[in-house]
C-alpha cells in the first residue's frame, strides 16, 4: 500500500526543483516537490487536493510529552524531530513535517489508546470549544523553519449513544482528539474558527508561507 502511495505521489505535476530553488520558484508560481515526512493519508490527500507535488518519506520519532511542555512547544518539537530525521535520509529536496494535537482546558489529547480512551476524549469535547494545534517544520537549503497553526473548533452536544456509535465506527482510533472533521466526525462539529485544513492535519497556508520566506 505504501508503495502505491509513493507511486501516486511521484507523478510529476511540476518541475522537480532543488531545495535552493524552492523559495524563488514559489514566488514565480512554481511549487517545489516536497518530501512529506508523514505516513498520514489525510496529509497526502490535502497535498493532492491542492495540486502540490510531493513524495512520501515517513519516519518514526518518540512522541512522548515532556514535563511541563506547552501544547505549542510539543507539536513544534515533534514536527522538527520528524523533519530532521527525514532530511538525514532525503537531503535532495525540501522536507516538511507536521504534528497535530487537540487541546481542551490545557489538556493535550493525542491519539486514543483504546476505545474507552476515545470515549473519554469525546466526553471532554462534546458541547464545548477546543483548540487544534499543528506544528510545521520545513527544512529547505539546510535552513529549518518552524511555526504553529491554531484552529478553534466547537463540538455539538453528544449523547452516550452517539459517542458509542462513533467510537464503534473505528474512525477515532488514529486521530488526535479522537475525531476526524473530514469523516463521520463532521456531523458533531458545530463551528470552526480558523484553518479547516489544520484540523485535518496540514495547514496548507502556513506551509506555503514557510516555503516562500
Report the C-alpha gap between 47 and 42 in whole angstroms: 9
Find out whether 96 and 138 touch, Cβ atoms under 8 Å.
yes
Query: Over the chain, what is the mean pLDDT?
Result: 88
Calculate mean pLDDT across residues 56-81: 92
Read off the pLDDT of residues 192-202 as tens digits, 9 standing for 90 and up.
999 999 999 99
* Best CA proximity match to 78, nearest among 108, 121, 115: 108
Q: How many CB atoms lie within 10 A of CB 99?
A: 26
pTM (two decimals): 0.84
Question: Hey, is 79 helix, strand or coil?
Answer: helix
Which of 52-56, 69-73, 140-144, 198-202 has the weakest average pLDDT? 140-144
The whole-angstrom separation of Cα 7 and Cα 4 is 5
Q: What is the pLDDT of residues 108-126, one digit of tens each?
A: 999 999 999 999 999 999 9
On the question of pLDDT at 16 being above 50, the answer is no
Q: Please tell me the distance from the alpha carbon of residue 130 to that of residue 208, in angstroms, as a whole number.
A: 25
CA distances from 3 to 9, 39, 186 (A): 10, 11, 30
**Which residues are known to be catalytic?**
99
Tens of pLDDT along 151-197? 999 999 999 999 999 999 999 999 999 999 999 999 999 999 999 99
- Inter-helix orientation angle 115-125/160-168, to 10°: 140
Spell out the residues 6+ positions from residue 171 whose beta carbon is closer than 8 angstroms to its own.
179, 180, 183, 184, 185
CATH of span 2-212: 3.90.950.10
Confidence of residue 97 (pLDDT cuts 50, 70, 90): very high
Q: Which residue has the higher pLDDT, 58 or 185?
A: 185
Averaged over 128-140, what is the pLDDT?
97
Q: At residue 7, does pLDDT exceed 80?
A: no
Q: Where are the beta strands (DSSP E) in 37-188?
A: 54-56, 95-104, 107-109, 129-140, 143-155
Domain boundary assignment for the chain: 2-212
Q: Which pLDDT does position 85 carry in this prediction?
A: 94
Amino acid at each position: 500500500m505504501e508503495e502505491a502511495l509513493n507511486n501516486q505521489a511521484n507523478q510529476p505535476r511540476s518541475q522537480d526543483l532543488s531545495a535552493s530553488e524552492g523559495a524563488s520558484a514559489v514566488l514565480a508560481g512554481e511549487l517545489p516537490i516536497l518530501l512529506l515526512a508523514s505516513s498520514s493519508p489525510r496529509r497526502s490527500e490535502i497535498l493532492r487536493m491542492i495540486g502540490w507535488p510531493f513524495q512520501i518519506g515517513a519516519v518514526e520519532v518518540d512522541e512522548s510529552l515532556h514535563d511541563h511542555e506547552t501544547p505549542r512547544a510539543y507539536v513544534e518539537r515533534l514536527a522538527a524531530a520528524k523533519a530532521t530525521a527525514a532530511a538525514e535520509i532525503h537531503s535532495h529536496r525540501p522536507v516538511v513535517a507536521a504534528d497535530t494535537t487537540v487541546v481542551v482546558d490545557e489538556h493535550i489529547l493525542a491519539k486514543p489508546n483504546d476505545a474507552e480512551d476515545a470515549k473519554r476524549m469525546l466526553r471532554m469535547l462534546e458541547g464545548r470549544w477546543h483548540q487544534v494545534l499543528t506544528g510545521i517544520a520545513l527544512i529547505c537549503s539546510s535552513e529549518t523553519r518552524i511555526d504553529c497553526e491554531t484552529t478553534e473548533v466547537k463540538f455539538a452536544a453528544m449523547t452516550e449513544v452517539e459517542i458509542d456509535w462513533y467510537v464503534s465506527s473505528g474512525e477515532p482510533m488514529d486521530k488526535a482528539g479522537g475525531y476526524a472533521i473530514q469523516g463521520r466526525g463532521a456531523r458533531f462539529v458545530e463551528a470552526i474558527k480558523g484553518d479547516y485544513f489544520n484540523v485535518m492535519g496540514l495547514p496548507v497556508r502556513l506551509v506555503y508561507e514557510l516555503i516562500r520566506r
